[in-house]
Amino acid sequence: MRVNQIDPNQYGKLLSDKVQHTLTYFAGIEVPKPSVVESVKQNYRLRAEFRVWHQDEDSFYIMFDPETKEKYRVDYYLPGSELLNKLMQAVRQAFLVNPELRYKLYQVDFLTSLSGEALVSLIYHKPLDDRWQNEAKILKQQLNEITKVNLIGRARKTKILLDQDYIIETFDVNGQQLSYKQIENSFTQPNGFINQKMLEWAANISHQLNGDLLELYCGNGNFSLALACKFNRVLATEIARSSVKAAQFNISLNNIDNVVIGQSSAEDFSAAYFEGKSVKSLKDIKLSDYQFSTILVDPPRAGLDRDTEQLVSKFDNILYISCNPETLANNIRAIQSTHQVQDICLFDQFPYTHHIESAVWLTKR
């Protein structure tokens, strides 16, 4: 759906239709009635990227229709946070009257936060020289009058930082304040309000559990940090090096001492687990020293591979966060002889689209 076609008055019906469609994937699986967590109806998205279209004396943001691929102008981005929209307007006003900032500007990316920090990336099809950098510093000062902004200039084989390439986000999880380093071009949950609700759901389930937690696909430690206080120890893995570094930074930032995070794919970790081998990035860790009672997985849309399905089936408790209900249902069918669904919650992470985030708690039969 085009941004300029979104009608917040239709939100309730669209969500209801999406939930009913999602539940069709679970046909034949015994599941309790799901809880559904609604999003705010607008200004929910914390990050966005826009192409810049130059037409005569004007330049403006555009997006592309997901079906027709036709471009359309975006002056106000209804899904975007209020801060994101303020920065959109301020950046455009600045480059419209500044030839150095405007010339060959191809794209602008925005990353905002609930904590009020923001990151703006200007992407060019031209070399960036000292003149550009001087004008960019002036722009950064102007944007800092709105909020704390870090600015990045990008061109072919070039990345210029005006301060840093990350922001610090803060979430409130059942009264616990947690801070997260979020890096430019790294994955973060786009809907901060819904992400807090997902963390609360996982924390409330984990409050009933004990022992140690194993987590795969941990990203920047989003769930790892929120659940650290619920388990004796947490061992987590992630394949993206930048996310692993951010996660380790976040462990220190939040003064958490019972979480270890290493770089590994879920497939490699599963193989090492079954073969009794050490994981390269966790070579000083003895898996036999852990008393795992619970595993948390938050895989990509493809879901769990067969080896990881076998791995999760060894645990008493499985917390499965999914962005694809179809592969989630297929994975549940593969392990339903050993596990049953105790709780299911649907989070409307992506309003006005067919996508929905699902969270499931399974226990061993």
Residue ranges at the known binding site for S-adenosyl-L-methionine: 189, 217, 222, 238, 298
List the catalytic residues: 323, 357
Judge whether 319 lies within some domain: yes
Structural contact between residues 358 and 347, judged by C-beta atoms closer than 8 angstroms: yes
Mean pLDDT in residue range 274-285: 73
Judge whether 18 lies within some domain: yes
Residues 137 and 265 in one domain: no
Residues 98 and 230 in one domain: no
Residues 36 and 151 in one domain: no
| pLDDT at residue 101 greater than cutoff 90 | yes
What pLDDT is attached to residue 158? 96
Residues 81 and 229 in one domain: no
Residues 225 and 347 in one domain: yes
Judge whether 101 lies within some domain: yes
Q: What is the pTM of this model?
A: 0.93
Q: How many domains does the chain have?
A: 2
Residues 25 and 51 in one domain: no
Residue ranges at the known binding site: 189, 217, 222, 238, 298
Residues 129 and 264 in one domain: no
Alpha helix stretches (DSSP H) within the chain: 11-23, 82-96, 99-102, 130-143, 192-206, 222-227, 241-253, 266-275, 306-312, 325-335
Confidence of residue 207 (pLDDT cuts 50, 70, 90): very high
Residues 21 and 94 in one domain: no
- Among the ranges given (3-7, 166-170, 343-347), the one the predictor scored with the smallest mean pLDDT: 3-7
Token readout for 290 is 């852990």
Residues 324 and 275 in one domain: yes
In whole numbers, what is the pLDDT of the chain averaged over residues?
94
Residues 199 and 339 in one domain: yes
Q: Tens digits of per-residue pLDDT, 209-219?
A: 999 999 999 99
Q: Residue 58 belongs to a domain with what CATH number?
A: 2.40.50.1070
Of 101, 132, 167, the residue at which a domain comes to its end is 167
Domain that holds residue 61: 47-167
Q: Of all residues in the chain, what percent are helix, strand and coil, respectively (each to 5)?
A: 35, 30, 35
Residues 23 and 54 in one domain: no
Residues 132 and 221 in one domain: no
Percentage of the chain modeled with pLDDT above 70: 100
Strand order across the beta sheet in which 212-216 lies: 35-37, 339-347, 357-364, 317-322, 292-297, 212-216, 234-238, 259-263
